[in-house]
Structure formats: structure tokens, C-alpha cells
Structure 1
Amino acid sequence: MIDIATRVYNHKWKIDPVVRSLIDTDFYKLLMCQTVFHNRPDTRVTFSLINRSKHVPLADLIDEGELREQLDHVRSLSLTRGESTWLRGNMFYGKRQMFSPEFMEWFEGMRLPPYQLERRGDQYELTFEGKWHEVMLWEIPALAVLMELRSRAVLADLDRFELQVLYARGMTRVWEKIEQLRQVPDLRLADFGTRRRHSHLWQDWCVQALMEGLGDRFVGTSNCLIAKRREIEAIGTNAHELPMVYAALAPDDAALAQAPYDVLSDWQRGHDGNLRIILPDTYGTRGFLDNAPDWLAGWTGIRIDSGDPAEWAETAIKWWQSRGEDPAKKLVIFSDGLDVAKIIELQQRFSGRVRTSFGWGTLLTNDFRDLVPGDRLAPFSLVCKAVSANGRPTVKLSDNPNKAMGPQDEITRYKRVFGVGDQERAEVVV
């Protein structure tokens, strides 16, 4: 096992680049990329970095030259032969050839497109423009680079023993969480912590701790590189990006209202079983479920990623019942800002009523709260989102208005089209 503290103290850039591989990314990005590659290959999209935590001055913390160096390194990466073999031949979700030969041939020759970086006050403006299936692969590595460079900046002044103590405390915190979770009956939990991790080495350590501490109750990781290296399941389905872009492309209000279902119609042509998971909150969960076609009720489950998780799980149960489905056979994946107490509470409430699973993210792979003076390693909310498609702005409403994004006039229009009324605001921690 790597001595992370010593590695940080003796840091050499060439030994520890932030992103080490094109598959040092979330599995759902590759699944979505293939869907876009086959269904919307000519769509042009702009992605942009959005720091929701304005109190974290990224441009003051992170040297621009070092940031460019890391981003340029990501652009130099291509699939290795071993990575290509793993993607082509490994079994994912019970399917041997998850990725088509046409997609793999393209991916094997792909390099990430250029980026645009400017400093704006104490923040960076980082954007990526181009064909959707190319620029979408920037999201996860861009976030990982910013998050880890921020961590490195905070740790730069710590000496060897301070780093040893810091990581010992961090490891103790993670292990204490695992000890609580191992007491929870019928738990199913996956690592979803790539995008806002403390570092690659730390995420890998957390995954190993979960493997040892939870055994078969730990079902896998979203990170493809770690899944390959540790020989565990790669976990992931789809994200808000798909309906956001499809909606932006809609020519009128009627097409806009239909766009979230068009996305899933395209998705189901290539995926079945546990990959048929509904993510309903992009434009409000209640309206999505009320207007959903009957065929969606037959899907395997639902992922809850904003708002009150218990409330929306209860809503999903009632919806399945109203459509003649047995909720006990359905899967509910909780994935929004989870930590141990919330995982335990939700598992106890819904165990036996539905099949539950938990995607544990930032508070697994980046929980160094109160471990350095000034709490400068506390996790914060950084995202990289599609902000336009074919020149038209994208919109996300969410079940928490603090996560909404897009021009205000378009937000107003989307609320009207999707029947979104008053929403309860909740703090966005991560």
C-alpha cells in the first residue's frame, strides 16, 4: 500500500500527475459518451467550470501555470492497449461487449480537444467547446485536476510529520465510518467519489478500505481505472447532462416537454437490467413522474440526486404502485451529499420496501473537515456542466433550486413547461 503522506511530501509531478489515464474517469461518462456517439454525433456543446462555493478562491490558491501543465497532460493521454482490452472484453453489468466496435475504434484514437482558460478575479473560467462526445469527456478530469491542485496548494507548507498525522487522522475517520456501516444489514454501497476527490491516491486508498471493511456489501466504484486495477465492478448509469442537452435542442415547448423521455428512449435501445435507472430530477421529479410514459415504470429503478431523499423515495414508491409495479422489486439509488448518518437512516427506513443502494461521493473521498487550521481542506461544490448545445443555452432545475443553472428567462420558461412550482431550498455542501 502506498505511503500517501511521503508521496505528497516528496511530490514529483511526473510520478503523480493528477489524471493518469483516459479511464481515470467515471464509468457513466463512457456509457453516455457511447450513447451520444451513436445518436447525436454532430451536436456541438460547450462545457464550463462552475464553482458554487465562491468563498473558495481557486485562482488565488492554484498557480495558473501548474493548472495548464496538468490540463495539457490530460490532453496528451490516449488509451493503452491494456485499457482498450479491458473495455472491449470485460463484463460490465452482466454484458460482455458493453462498448461497440465502432465506438471503441474511435475512442482508441481519441485525444481530448483544446480548452480555454482565463482568470476572472479570484476564480478561473475554464471552458471546453466541440463535438458533444469529445468535450463531454473533459468533465471528470477537469474537476479532478482542480480539486487535487487545491488540496496540494493547502498541503504545500506542511512538513513530513504534519502530513503523516493528517493522513493518519483522515484514514482513521474513513475507517470509523466503515465500522459503522458494516453493522448495517443488507447494505449495498458504491464509491462515487471521483469528481471531487482529495486526490487519486486517496480515492484508491478509500476503495481498498471499503473492499476490506465491507466485503461484498461494497459493490464497486465509479472510477474505471481503479475498477480495472482492483478487479472490482465499474458502477454507473446516466446523468443530468443527457436531458439538459436534448432539452436545449428542442425546437418548441412541446418538444421540450418530451425531451427527457426521448433521452431514455435512446438509452434503453442500448442498455437493459440495472443500467435502466431513471434520473428524474433534472426538471423536477414530480412532474417527470406524473407525465412519464408507462414503459418507464418497467425500468429497474431510480436514482435520487437532489431534494429530500426520503421524500422522493416515498414519491417513487407511490408512483410505482400507481403504475401497477411492485416497489419491493425496484432499486432506489441514493447519491446526493451522503455521509454515514444519512446512509444508515435511509437504509433503515426503506429496507424491505425497495432494494436500496448508495453512491457515496465527496464525503468518502474528500472528508478532511477540521483537520487543518482554518478548515482549508473542507470539501466544496465544484461542477463542470454543459452550458450550451448548438448555440442554445442549457437549463437544469433540480429538486433543489440552489442547484438550478441557466439564463433566468430560460429557467422561467422551463418551470412553466415542466410545471415546477415553489421548491424548498437546501444548502449545497458538495
Structure 2
Amino acid sequence: MVIESLLDTDLYKFSMMQVVLHQYPAAEVEYRFKCRTPGIDLVPCIEEIRAELTALCGLRFRADELDYLRGWRFIKSDFVDFLGLFQLNEKYVEIAPSPDVPGEIEIRIRGPWLHTIMFEVPLLAIVNEVYFRRTSAGLDLAEGRRRLHDKIAMLRDAPDYTLCRIADYGTRRRYSRRWQQEVVTTLRDELGAQLAGTSNVWLARELGLTPLGTLAHEYLQAHQALGPRLRDSQVAALEAWAKEYRGDLGIALSDVYGLDAFLRDFDMYFCKLFDGTRHDSGDPFAWGEKVLAHYRDNRVDPRNKVLVFSDGLDIPRVMQLYAHFRGRCQLAFGVGTNLTNDVGPAPINIVIKMIRCNGQPVAKLSDSPGKNMCEDPAYVAYLRQVFEIPATQG
């Protein structure tokens, strides 16, 4: 089995799911899979993916896993009680060859948000591991270990970088579960305090690390159909988050409508309320400078705020960003694919994104072209108009 525990997912799935249980239990959603890497034939993997999906849907949270979740300050007891009854249901998932593009597959997830939110991360991990199992069976991981040790040495041995800390964000596109476990174990043992933690809850528990994460794009996208008017959806999402966590998990995601639209909504109230912001598209240096200036304009000392960088990072990029921003704010770095799928064969860029909520199209218009997914061009045009997003963005 690729997935052996329902904890083998990212923390933000639990934090978002708790909000869904308490505030949007009746919401209905739809997600769609996309492989952004051209020329990848996933059709031969379908039957194995389906078998792994069936196995995933047979899992339940064990008593010791629930006790672990109950120990988190920000998790409420009724949510843990709900998880004790929770089980994924494969009736919500359709997997088939694409009728339009040879080699591509379609994965659609439709159903109650509360009962489908947990599919994304394990399904992506399954697709990745099945694909690499078929295309690189018997791969000698010595090259991956060599690359990993080089990265560790680059960060660990560099003068003036002892306070530069990274976190593992690589669950969704990992080469395999066992490889991610080896990578994070090695990082823990060789980086020490320079490893801040991991987004993977199962690994955090197994290895005694801090689980990290707050919210994802789907949370803000859903509010396009859940909030009051569309223009206020970003504010409604942040307000609902603050209502749920009362100061915990205070990192806001800034690129669902692009940074400029985010900053128009992220006023002095939110600047003071949230601990910081996360970068996930566009130029990270320009993004950081704009965010720091925005804090200053709102009479907030940036040195007390966190900038989280998590967009396609590798260790050299982490070090460049750290050198540029250190001393001006607090910094955090989430490194994903470059840590957990850098063993020789080229990784594949796969995503599962929410495309509908309560029957209405939802979308994000990030600061990076090619990251957006929506099946309704008219809705995208309307979204651009409402949030004053130029046509050149996204």
C-alpha cells in the first residue's frame, strides 16, 4: 500500500477540515486532477491507482492517532470525535482515461467538502508512487542520497546560515513514501535545529517533529461560493479562519487573486491579527518587498511578522531569499519536490484543484501563469473584473 495511515497527509488538510465541519458542513465541491508535465502517459497506471484508492478508503484513524491529534492546542475535541467515525468513500472519485488527450487521465472528486477534502494529498502521492514504480522500478537510490547530502551540506556548512531553517513540504509529489521518510529522517539527523518540521502529519508523529501548515488555495476559493458577495470572499475567508483559530495558525495565503488584490483586503486589522503571509507564486523577492512595505504602511513592524516561502524552492534559492530578507522579518521556507523527488528521474508536476463549490465555478488567479485551473472562462473573466486583476496576470 502507498498510504498506510490517514495521518499520511499535510497538516493544512486537518486545519481546513475542522473549519468545514464547524462552519460549512453542507458545502458540496468538485476537484479535478491535472498533470502539468507534457508527454506523461498515466493511462497504464489507472488500474493500480484504483486499487490503491480502494485500499485508502479502507483506512480508519486508530485510537493512538486520534490521541495524537487531540494533543494539539488548536484541534477541538468534537473534530477528533468526528475523525474517529471518518472514512473516505471511493464513490466520490472517478478515474478514467482522458477522451481528448492520449496518455492523460481524468480524476474527478465530487461530493460533500467535509467528506472529500482528505482525498487530494494521498491521491497525488498515490499517482506519483505508482507512476515511478512502473517507470523506474529497481532504481538505485544512491544518486538521490548523494544529492540530498550535498543539499544538507550546502545549508549546514555555510557561514552565517545557522538560523536559516527549512521544512519538508514534499508529500504530494514525493518519489515514494519510504523515500520521503528517509529524506526527512536524514534532514532531522543532519540538520538538527535547521529543520523546522514537516507538513506531513504521519512523519511528524513518527519522527518527533513539528507538523507545519495552515490553509491552502481551496479554502479561499470555496469562499467565492460560501461568502457574501464575491468581492468580499477573501475577507470572509480570513474572518472565518480567525473565528475558528483565535490567533493560532496565523499565516495567510496571498495569491488566490494575486498579491495586489490580496493587499487591498489585508488591511491593518488583518496585518495585526495574522502572524504572517505565505508566498506561492510570482517573483518571491518582489513579493517580499511589497509585503514588507505594506506592513510598514499599516504601522506594523515587519520584524515581528513571518514571510513563508514555498514556491518551487531548492536550497540555493532558500539561501538567496534568506540573505536578502534576514533581519528585516521572520523567515520560513517550505521545500517540496526538490527534497522528496530528486533521485534521478525527472519529477512530474501534478495537482488536484477545486473547480466548483455548491455548483458554482471557483478559481484562483495567481501571480504565476499556468497555475490556474477553471473550466468556465466567463467566470474567470468576471473574477478578473471584480478583483481588478489585469489580463496579463495568471
Match of 1:355 in 2: 330
Residue 264 of structure 1 pairs with residue 238 of structure 2: yes
Match of 1:409 in 2: 378
Match of 2:195 in 1: 218
Aligned length: 384
> Counterparts of 2:219 and 2:247 in 1: how far apart (Å)?
19
Match of 2:105 in 1: 124
CA contact (8 A) 2:234 2:265 kept: no
CA contact (8 A) 2:353 2:373 kept: no
Match of 1:380 in 2: 348
Residue 301 of structure 2 is aligned with which of 307, 321, 326? 326
AA aligned opposite 2:96: E
CA contact (8 A) 1:43 1:131 kept: yes
Match of 1:102 in 2: 78
Q: Extract unaligned runs of 5+ from structure 1.
A: 1-16, 372-376, 426-430
Match of 1:52 in 2: 36
Residue 16 of structure 2 is aligned with which of 32, 35, 38? 32
Residue 341 of structure 1 pairs with residue 316 of structure 2: yes
CA displacement 1:85-112 (0-9 Å, x = unmatched): 11112x4xxx2xx222221111111111
CA displacement 1:59-81 (0-9 Å, x = unmatched): 14x2x221111000000000011
> Counterparts of 1:38 and 1:385 in 2: how far apart (Å)?
22
Residue 69 of structure 1 pairs with residue 38 of structure 2: no
Moved more, 27-36 or 399-408: 399-408
Residue 135 of structure 1 pairs with residue 116 of structure 2: yes
Residue 81 of structure 1 pairs with residue 55 of structure 2: no
CA contact (8 A) 2:169 2:334 kept: yes
Residue 6 of structure 2 is aligned with which of 12, 19, 22? 22
Moved more, 30-39 or 397-406: 397-406
Specify the SS of the correspondent of 2:215.
Answer: coil
> Counterparts of 1:290 and 1:129 in 2: how far apart (Å)?
33
Specify the SS of the correspondent of 2:57.
Answer: helix
Specify the SS of the correspondent of 2:110.
Answer: strand
CA displacement 1:207-240 (0-9 Å, x = unmatched): 1111112111211111111111111111111111
Match of 1:185 in 2: 162
CA displacement 1:222-270 (0-9 Å, x = unmatched): 111111111111111111111111113457xxx1111011111111122
AA aligned opposite 2:136: L
Match of 1:292 in 2: 266
AA aligned opposite 2:187: L
> Counterparts of 1:391 and 1:272 in 2: how far apart (Å)?
30
Normalised by the length of structure 1, the TM-score is 0.87
> Counterparts of 1:124 and 1:19 in 2: how far apart (Å)?
21
Task: Summarize the Cα distance change of 1:75–1:226 in structure 2 as closer, same or farther, 3 Å threshold.
Answer: same
% same residue: 34
Residue 398 of structure 1 is aligned with which of 353, 366, 369? 366
CA contact (8 A) 2:227 2:237 kept: no
CA contact (8 A) 1:248 1:395 kept: no
**Cα distance, 1:366 vs. partner?**
0.4
Task: Summarize the Cα distance change of 1:333–1:269 in structure 2 as closer, same or farther, 3 Å threshold.
Answer: same
> Counterparts of 2:340 and 2:311 in 1: how far apart (Å)?
14
Match of 1:234 in 2: 211
Residue 41 of structure 1 pairs with residue 25 of structure 2: yes
Residue 282 of structure 1 pairs with residue 229 of structure 2: no
AA aligned opposite 1:405: M
Match of 1:209 in 2: 186
CA displacement 1:316-362 (0-9 Å, x = unmatched): 00000000000111100000000011111000000001111100111
Residue 175 of structure 1 pairs with residue 149 of structure 2: yes
Specify the SS of the correspondent of 1:281.
Answer: coil
**Cα distance, 1:417 vs. partner?**
0.8
> Counterparts of 1:142 and 1:196 in 2: how far apart (Å)?
10
CA contact (8 A) 2:365 2:372 kept: yes
CA contact (8 A) 1:284 1:418 kept: no
